[in-house]
């Protein structure tokens, strides 16, 4: 089941996908959905970033809580049987929230984060095929540390140890229609970033 989740980042949201089974509006992301003519199946949040009238059927949470509104939405999506979670409006804005949202990729492997010109997901141990996008860079950032092989790109690596404080794997480009990432150990943030 493909679940669209729209959060409240102040950054511009790219066009939203149509082939979705379930839609969740997260706090101010509810307004973004309304602006796109989409009525969500579920609305959650503490509504500190939404200025309109909160719908009666919204699931409200207190602003002082131990989880973010996005985490609540992700758990709801999982509870509805999500196999894919396409999350918009969770990058940009406050840096602490952006980093926290990226960190959620560890707990929700079915999640991908989308922003204007960017897509982020977490690759775990195994082989990953990464389709070419001519107008994007391919950045592969170790989530802490990893051992990787990267093929089909301008700057390949073979069983190379990479760590998060090095920029070695940022702004690569495709040499073939697909690139192959093999994560031998660790986890890697896969980022498509518009040029």
- The CATH number covering residue 92 comes to 3.40.50.10240
Q: In DSSP terms, which residues pair with 54 in a beta bridge?
A: none
Mean per-residue pLDDT of the chain: 92
Q: In this structure, what token pair is assigned to residue 175?
A: 């040499």
Residues 40, 106: one domain? Answer: yes
Q: Which domain holds residue 136?
A: 122-194
Number of domains in the chain: 2
- Which residue among 97, 116, 135 closes a domain? 116
Residue 97 shares a structural domain with residue 14: yes
The pLDDT of residue 95 is above 90:
no
Residue 9 shares a structural domain with residue 95: yes
Are 27 and 84 within one domain?
A: yes
Q: Based on the fold, state whether residues 91 and 128 are members of the same structural domain.
A: no
pLDDT digits (tens, 9 = 90+) for 156-183: 999 999 998 888 999 999 999 999 999 9
Chosen domain end from 116, 150, 179: 116
pLDDT classification of 20: cutoffs 50, 70, 90: very high
Q: Which two tokens stand for residue 58?
A: 């919204």
CA distances from residue 23 to 8, 56, 102, 139, 150 in whole angstroms, order as listed: 14, 17, 20, 29, 35
pLDDT in tens, 40-66: 999 998 878 777 787 888 788 777 788
pLDDT in tens, 98-113: 999 999 999 999 999 9
Q: Are 120 and 155 in contact (CB under 8 A)?
A: no
> 28 pLDDT exceeds 90?
no
Closest CA to 29 of 65, 5, 55, 2: 5
User: Taking residues 60-80, what's their average pLDDT?
Assistant: 89
> Could you give the C-alpha distances from 86 to 17, 106, 121, 168, in angstroms and in order?
9, 15, 10, 28
Say whether both 141 and 52 belong to one domain: no
Q: List for the chain the helix, strand, coil content (%; round to 5).
A: 15, 40, 45
The residue from 85, 116, 147 where one domain ends is 116
The pLDDT of residue 124:
96
């Amino acid at each position: 089941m493909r679940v669209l989740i729209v959060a409240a980042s102040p950054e511009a949201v790219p066009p939203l996908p149509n082939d979705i089974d379930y839609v969740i509006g997260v706090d101010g992301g509810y307004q973004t959905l309304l602006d796109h003519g989409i009525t969500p199946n579920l609305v959650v949040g503490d509504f500190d970033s939404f200025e309109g009238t909160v719908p009666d059927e919204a699931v409200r949470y207190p602003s002082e809580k131990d989880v973010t509104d996005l985490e609540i939405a992700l758990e709801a999506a999982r509870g509805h049987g999500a196999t894919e979670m396409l999350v918009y409006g969770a990058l940009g804005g406050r840096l602490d929230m952006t980093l926290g949202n990226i960190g959620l990729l560890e707990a929700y492997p079915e999640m991908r984060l989308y922003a204007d010109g960017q897509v982020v997901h977490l690759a775990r141990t195994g082989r990953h095929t990464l389709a070419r996008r001519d107008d994007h860079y391919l950045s592969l950032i170790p989530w802490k540390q990893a051992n990787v092989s990267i093929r089909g790109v301008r700057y390949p690596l073979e069983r190379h140890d990479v760590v998060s404080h090095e920029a070695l794997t940022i702004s690569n480009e495709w040499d073939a229609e697909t690139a192959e990432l093999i994560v031998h150990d660790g986890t890697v943030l896969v980022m498509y970033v518009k040029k």
